[in-house]
Every structure is written in C-alpha cells, then in structure tokens.
Amino acid sequence: MFSLKSYFKHSSVTILYGIFAVIIVGLSACQSPQQTAPQAPTNVPSTPSQSQANPPVTTPANLPSASADWKADGSITPGEYQNHQAFDDYEINWSNDDQYVYIGMKAKTMGWVAVGFGATTFMNNANIIQGYFSDGKVTVADQFSTGNFGPHNDVTSLGGTYAILDSGGSQTNGTTIIEFKRKLNPGDKFHPALVKGVNKIIWAYGGDNQYLIKHVSRGEGQITIQ
C-alpha cells in the first residue's frame, strides 16, 4: 500500500543516490582536464608543422631563401626563380627577398634583351637593364631613359651609380639569357624603387648584338614583389 512515510523514505534514498551520482559525475568531469592535460605535449609538435605549412614567401623571415639557389650563370634552372611571366618570345623570371630582386630574362634572339622599371610614359624615366653580347663577352648595362623613346644612357654618364650587383648571361641556339641582381631600392632617381605588390615593367629585345639598334619586339607587363 502506498504510504507517505515509505514514499518519503524511498524519495530520500533516491535523492541521496542522485546527489551521490552527481558528485561522482562532477568529480570525474573535474578529473577529465587533468587526464587530457598530459596529452598537451603531444599536441605541441603540431605547432611547427602548422607554420611549416605556411607558404614560405609570405613570411619576410623566409624571403632570403629566394637567393639560395640563384646564380648569375646564364642558365635558368627549375626552382631558381619563384615567379615567371612570358610575353611572346620574351620571358622574365624573378624572385625577391627583403632587399634584392633577382631577374632572369630569356628571349628567342641572338640580340640584346632588356627590362625597364618605373617607366612613366612609354620608355621615359625607366631604369633600363639591357644585356648584350659583344665579342663573346656579356655586358649588363644599367641605363636610364630621359625621353619617351630614349635616349637611355648608362646611369654613370648621368651622374648615377651602377646598381647591378651581380650579373651573367648566355647565348645558345638562338636564345639569349641575361640574369642580374639589383637592390629593390637602390636609392637614387635613376633607379625607381620596386615596391611590395604590383610593379609595372617594360620589356624588349633586339635582333642582333647591335645594342643601340631598336627592338624587334617590345611591350609592357608587370611583376609582383612579395
């Protein structure tokens, strides 16, 4: 028979069991972080692997590796440059670190190959780097254009300082390669700074080693500095 006394007795026991169960669950819940805490060290190695997964070129600290495999030897090898852009029979490859840009130009010609930075109108105000062979010797000229269609004379003749820090080239089987290294910002008016992001370039190549004779192909483009 139902009795109030046995009901309360039964309920108290139930409540007591309930409280006991809550305490047990609570205790085990409190312990669980301590149990997972030792796992924390096993998570630690994941930190380096996450940063390793970051694209290396976005971290300035990693940018100097741009120059690691670079050689101004007249040969453009796979992985030597981080970027590549082709315009008809002319191509430009480039990398940069926080101070320098490394350029490799290649064109289907036995003539001169050039790139210009910072042109305002046509060729005007561009720092033009023109590479050419003469008597089997490569010259990488550092020039500045003082007019829309030249003249572009050596910066030294205009009072500037030659800013090509390393260079080289090759001519084989109808292809000319010119490689050079320049500061991103050589710091004078003949060398417009290359800045982070998109930079306009002009490019051209000539038909033979008469480097004063006009291009057979020319155009505009852009390179991105990291």
Q: Which residues of the chain form contacts with ligand HEM (CB under 6 A)? A: 114-116, 122-123, 128, 130, 149-150, 202-204, 212, 214-215, 218-220
With 0-12 / 13-18 / 19 or more C-beta atoms within 10 angstroms meaning exposed / middle / buried, residue 53 is exposed
Q: Which is nearer to ligand HEM, 63 or 177 (CB)?
A: 177
Q: Which is nearer to ligand HEM, 62 or 221 (CB)?
A: 221
**Least distance (Å) between residue 130 CB and ligand HEM:** 5
Cα(161)–Cα(94) distance, integer angstroms: 23
> Cis omega before residue 151 (within 30°)?
yes
Q: Which is nearer to ligand HEM, 76 or 207 (CB)?
A: 207
Cα(124)–Cα(151) distance, integer angstroms: 9
Length, in residues, of the chain: 226
**Least distance (Å) between residue 75 CB and ligand HEM:** 22
Phi, psi of 120, deg, nearest 5: -95, -55
**Least distance (Å) between residue 168 CB and ligand HEM:** 19
Selection from 62, 65, 38 nearest residue 52 by Cα: 62
**Least distance (Å) between residue 206 CB and ligand HEM:** 6
Q: Which is nearer to ligand HEM, 123 or 223 (CB)?
A: 123
How many secondary structure helices (H) and strands (E) does the chain include? 3, 11
Q: Which is nearer to ligand HEM, 66 or 115 (CB)?
A: 115
**Least distance (Å) between residue 210 CB and ligand HEM:** 9
